[in-house]
Chains A and B, each alone.
Chain A
Amino acid sequence: MLKVQNIKVSFDGIQVLDECALEVGEREIVVLLGPSGCGKSTLLRTVAGLENLETGKILWNEEDMTTVPPHKRGFGLMFQNHALFPHRNVEENIDFGLQILQLNRTERQQRVKDLLNMVGLEKFEKREIGGLSGGEAQRVALARSLAPKPRLLMLDEPMASLDRALRDRLLIDISNLLRDLNQAAIYVTHDHDEAFSIADRIAIMHEGKIERIGTPNEVWLDPGSEIAAQCIGHENFVNLDSSGNSALGKLGSGPGTVLIREDGISIVSESTEIVGEVKSATFHAGLTFIKVQVGDLQLSTSTATPVKISDQINLEILKTAVVPLR
């Protein structure tokens, strides 16, 4: 398993990774989630050995990899732009890592064929790289990274250059493939939907640190901090006064900020203490997503009953969906 211990990395005096720590188990897919510039790609590159670290350690099964050069670590990295070799065709691209391992020819050919089958690109061996579509190039890149059987595969925003529909389909394929292979992986993305659909554990990054780490369910139910909560798409933050009161009533025991998850706000027909006005309503997949103005607070929720803009509605807050934040 991978252990990243308190690493620090800076570029030109700017701290990019600050006391960053992470563990990735065998067969585990950990997603690094965060906005661009939070240091997630740098963390990948540092684990890969492409960036130098100032302090800290990178261990694989307790063996110190910190000073091992990148090509000897046995870690694979799939780049955002795929970085396929333009002077080699599909087969030669996938074969590259096998060639370096000095496997014999028949073995290599068989492995290339298996990999192409795995990623659903049978008979693509002789295709030139320039003629591939975005999705095909991405699959070739995946096959190429998997070819030398890396102990750990890292994927840097692999879906970033693809369109939405293709992204959803490929995401499922990649997820299934990694699980079939029992592949330990770190997957970097800034898209929380993507993160939730592929992760065993999600690590939310902010300013060079891991802000929160846990299974998708744990992280969703209790993001821990406002930054982490924003990162995974939560929107309802309520500031409390010194006695824990707010426009929505008493939500805590003292001052601070609480999160009300979307599932904790329901629209009821009987009158309640909380009345709001619908400010926006968008319809998606059978639900109406609305923003409601309550005093100076704006809350987001969804409902199956149709509502219109400017409707006055009664709301109820589910106390179990109120999460105190740091």
Chain B
Amino acid sequence: MNDCRNAEIRDQLPDLLHDRLSAGARAAVLVHVDSCAECRDELALLRGVHRALVMATPRIDTSRIVSALPKPGASVQLRSSRPSRSRWTDWRVAATITVVALGGMSVALLTRSSDSGQPLAVAPGPMPAPQAPVAGPPATGSASVPAVPTTTRGVGRETTLAQSTPSTPVASAADDAPTEIGMEGRLTGLNERQLRALLDDIQQLKAVPITEPEPVTLKVDTKTSPGSTGDMEIM
């Protein structure tokens, strides 16, 4: 199959097939095709390819497609709804930041108040270097709240805990302890008899009733006594 030398006419053959030529152009192409075997052959080829494509194409269910389409104005609604969603998100973010900030400030205030001498339930941090023993908190702090010194012995260190649980039998047990123990809350000044009595008192702690425990107040004092090395006292 040869090509016609008139490229301009050949270019318009598909347009002739689809009737997309103006009246004047269509007439000119038809005149040429009538006298050109190559263009007639090419036009026949175009018709064959077009027919083959049409036959190969499955029928489309347009109603199904239409039912799947978005509703009119959906894109506009989507765009208009964006700012309100953004405002709502911004509001939630702001509220979260506020709550976190208030929480942080509360913790900071509580920590500061504990640093100013008031007992607070704070876990002891890293142990500083041993220092000379210092007397416990003033008697005014523990006089009204009987303390029960309890002793636990860890590896190479002795820890004294002072629990202030006035409404529990623990407190009444502390009332029976020697005065100097309750006032000072340290073991370094106790003789053997006092220590034994203290241990007996501790054993009586088994009788503590099952109740919701009161907040435990710990005073961490990392100072050591002259006779002990590396001991930690918690008052």
Q: Does A pair with B?
A: no
Could you list which residues of chain A lie within 8 angstroms of chain B, going by C-beta atoms? Answer: none
